[in-house]
Structures are given as C-alpha cells and as structure tokens.
Amino acid sequence: MEFNGLPLHALVVHAAVVFGPLAALAGLLYALVPRWRDRLRWPLVATAAIALGAIWVAYLSGEELTEANTYGGPLAALVETHEERAGILRISMTAFAVLSFLAAWWHTRTGPVRLVMGGLVAASAVVTLVYVVLTGDAGAQVAWYGVEG
C-alpha cells in the first residue's frame, strides 16, 4: 500500500508513535488520579481508539512491506526484532483499548470493579507504552541501518 508514492507504513507509524503513548499516559492518569477520571474518560477513549487503529494499520502495512522486500544479513535480524515487538504491541494495544473502553463504560461503578478496572488499565497502559518505545526503536534501527551519524 502506498500513499502519494510513499509506503503507507512509513506514514502511519508516526500516528502510532504519537497516539500510543498519549493513550497510555491518559490511561495511567485515569487509573491513578481519581479526581481527573471524569475529565479524562472521553480523551482516553478517543486516543485509545486512534492509537488502536494506527497500530493495526501500521502492523498490517508493515507485514505487506516486509513481504515486498527481501532483507538479508544483519538487517534481517533487525526486521525480525521489529516484527516480534510489533506483534506484542498489537496485542497489548488491543487489550489496553478494550480495557479503556470498558473502564469508560463502567465509569460510575465503585468498589472492587473500579479498583480492578483501574489496575488493569494501568498495567496494560504500562505494557503498551513500553512496547511502543521498543517497537519504534527497532523500526528506527531498520530505517537508519547503515547511516553514519
């Protein structure tokens, strides 16, 4: 897939790298700062939905890009690392988004439901944030392979 001559993957990863951490940070604040929950509920849902879409499109377009190219040597190992991390990111972002949507849906609940949902949102936000960074770093290593700085 291309957009205006550029691979779609090269364009959409920027949305994933921006909205993934924003959604994760919103999820952490939602879970850890009770007085901000009312204000953060809808921004959390919006950023999680955008990040989820961006990460899935990045994953699928990356798969297509990899199939269209043949990598060898050290670059192949970098691409494999990036693909493995992207697979984990795709799963963690999906889980985080579902948990964020459920937390927003059950926003008025109290007691154990609120505590469990807050803990799950926070934990999945941390995993998502870590894997956005790890996947982005591995992708940057592929993109900048062989460039001396």
The chain-wide mean pLDDT, for the chain, equals 91
pLDDT in tens, 17-26: 999 999 999 9
Residue boundaries of the structural domains of the chain: 2-143
Angle between helices 37-68 and 8-32 (to 10 degrees): 150
Residue 27: the pLDDT is 97
Higher per-residue confidence, 18 vs 63: 18
E-only strand ranges, 2-143: 2-3, 6-7
Higher per-residue confidence, 92 vs 2: 92
Residue 147: the pLDDT is 66
pLDDT in tens, 97-136: 999 999 999 988 888 999 999 999 999 999 999 999 999 9
In CATH, the number for domain 2-143 is 1.20.120
> Residue 16: in which H helix or E strand, if any?
helix 8-32
CA dihedral 128, 78, 9, 22 (to 10 degrees): 20
pLDDT in tens, 14-62: 999 999 999 999 999 999 999 999 999 999 999 999 999 999 999 999 8
User: What whole-number distance in Å separates Cα of residue 21 and Cα of residue 39?
Assistant: 18
